[in-house]
């Protein structure tokens, strides 16, 4: 015997929310490599969401186009369909077709289980932005969780900064003409399966994946003084789990993978503890500690920063009407003492205007990747207007 109540607001509806963002990213230090630009990188982003839901809630459509224009790096001016999906539900079954985005994982610093989408590495190297992935997804809900099967027919190549861009390796990576291990092309198709369930204080996800690795292997092309990319065959199984009790969130993600015959383990585990209502105010402060591990042979693998690293983070949430949030965090490589630190600040400054600021710091070190970025500490300001 149940009674369901809801206001009739927005049933069977279309909602369109376009947005324009202006941003400026300033690199105070001189560039490390010759062709890289010096100073400020300006950008404008045209984006937005279209959402439609049928009256009976059985069908949904979501479309999100994304266009970025960049003042310094032509590789960073691009268009992408972040999402263009149709979802239909019948009883406990759900089918999604089109271009979509999927998030798997529980950790804050890096999600080793998150494999469906290609990361948009030209936006940022922090693996938060993703390229839209063409997919067919069939889902089935059960009392104790849900099962999802994926067919991913087309592979999305990584998008990387161009020769004039900052935050790149040297020599530059040539994109647009990658090599593939499987069938030699991007139509080889990937398969994935995931079961997610909640049991009391535990949230658990189990998955398997077979297809093409999202990570590119950079292959030196000595004649052209460039790197080309190779995408290898990859199979993996993985688990992500979170235990939630009181102010504690305990988290773990682990993947056992085989990439072109090379087997390795990749994991992240740690905790988030929240101090609620600090000093009698409504401000919450969360402390995040995570350990990242990856036992890949560094000679045969893509450049991996996270072989044995510690992540420390601090999240400050005043719980105000402007939804202000401050997130500070840093990776420390325990072997090379490379450091990547960032501070992100977000606040709504008018009813349809969002302000973001982001500071990134790289120390001088011999660590892989950070050595390329050591002069690329930067500060970013972004203003987004919604219509």
Answer for which of 276, 278, 298, 300 binds other proteins (CB under 8 A) is 276
58-63, long-range: CB within 8 Å, 24+ apart, which pairs?
A: 58/88, 58/89, 58/90, 59/86, 59/87, 59/88, 59/89, 60/86, 60/87, 60/88, 61/85, 61/86, 61/87, 62/87
Q: Minimum Å distance from CB 149 to other proteins?
A: 14
Binding track, positions 88-127, relative to other proteins; x by CB under 8 A: -x--x--------xxx--x---------------------
Answer for which of 247, 263, 364, 366 binds other proteins (CB under 8 A) is 247
Tell me if the bond preceding 96 is cis, omega within 30° of 0: no
Compute how many residues bind other proteins; rule: CB under 8 A: 57
> What is d(CA 360, CA 320) in angstroms, rounded to the nearest whole number?
26
Answer for which of 43, 98, 132, 139 binds other proteins (CB under 8 A) is 139
Is residue 32 close enough to count as binding other proteins by CB under 8 A? no
Distances in Å between the alpha carbon of 217 and those of 160, 201, 235, 285, 317? 13, 39, 16, 39, 39
Both tokens of residue 15? 């909602």
Using an 8 Å Cβ cutoff, are 70 and 43 in contact? yes
Residue 46: which residues within 8 A CB-CB, separation 6 or more?
Answer: 18, 19, 20, 65, 66, 67
Is residue 274 close enough to count as binding other proteins by CB under 8 A? yes
Answer for which of 74, 198, 298, 334 binds other proteins (CB under 8 A) is 198
Q: First vs last Cα of the chain: how many Å apart?
A: 43
Answer for which of 26, 28, 57, 300 binds other proteins (CB under 8 A) is 57
Is residue 1 close enough to count as binding other proteins by CB under 8 A? yes
Binding track, positions 278-297, relative to other proteins; x by CB under 8 A: ----x-x-------------
Q: Which residues bind other proteins (CB under 8 A)?
A: 1-10, 15, 17, 19, 49, 51, 53, 56-57, 60, 87, 89, 92, 101-103, 106, 128, 139, 141, 143, 145-146, 196, 198, 203, 242, 244, 246-249, 274, 276-277, 282, 284, 319-323, 348, 351-352, 354, 384, 386
């Amino acid at each position: 015997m149940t009674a369901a109540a809801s206001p009739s607001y927005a049933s069977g509806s279309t909602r369109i929310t376009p947005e324009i963002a202006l941003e400026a990213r300033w690199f105070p230090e001189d560039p490390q490599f010759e062709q890289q630009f010096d100073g400020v990188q300006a950008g404008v982003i045209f984006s937005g969401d279209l959402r439609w839901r049928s009256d009976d809630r059985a069908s949904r459509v979501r479309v999100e186009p994304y266009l970025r224009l960049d003042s310094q790096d032509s590789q960073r001016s691009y268009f992408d369909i972040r999402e263009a999906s149709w979802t239909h539900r019948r009883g406990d079954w759900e089918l999604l077709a089109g271009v979509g985005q999927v998030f798997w994982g529980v950790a804050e610093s890096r999600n080793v289980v998150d494999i469906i989408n290609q990361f948009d590495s030209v936006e940022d190297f922090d693996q938060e932005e993703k390229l839209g992935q063409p997919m067919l997804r069939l889902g089935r809900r059960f009392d104790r969780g849900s099962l999802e099967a994926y067919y991913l027919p087309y592979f999305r190549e990584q998008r990387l900064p161009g020769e004039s861009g900052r935050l790149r390796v040297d020599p530059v990576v040539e994109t647009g003409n990658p090599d593939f291990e499987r069938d030699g092309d991007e139509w080889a198709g990937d398969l994935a399966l995931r079961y997610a369930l909640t049991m009391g204080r535990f949230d658990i996800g189990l998955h398997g994946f077979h297809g093409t690795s999202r990570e590119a292997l950079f292959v030196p092309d000595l004649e052209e003084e460039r790197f080309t990319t190779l995408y290898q065959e990859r199979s993996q199984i993985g688990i992500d789990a979170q235990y939630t009790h009181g102010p504690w969130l305990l988290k773990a993600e682990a993947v056992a993978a085989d990439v072109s015959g090379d087997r390795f383990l990749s994991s992240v585990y740690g905790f988030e503890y929240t101090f609620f209502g600090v000093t009698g105010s409504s401000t919450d402060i969360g402390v995040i500690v995570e350990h990242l591990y990856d036992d890949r042979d560094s000679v045969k693998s893509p450049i991996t920063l996270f072989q044995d690293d510690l992540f420390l983070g601090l999240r400050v949430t005043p719980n105000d009407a402007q939804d202000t949030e401050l997130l500070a965090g840093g990776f420390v490589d325990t072997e090379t003492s490379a450091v990547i630190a960032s501070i992100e600040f977000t606040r709504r400054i008018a009813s349809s205007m969002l302000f973001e600021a982001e500071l990134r710091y790289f120390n001088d070190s011999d660590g892989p990747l950070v050595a390329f970025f050591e002069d690329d500490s930067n500060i970013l300001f972004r203003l987004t207007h919604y219509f």
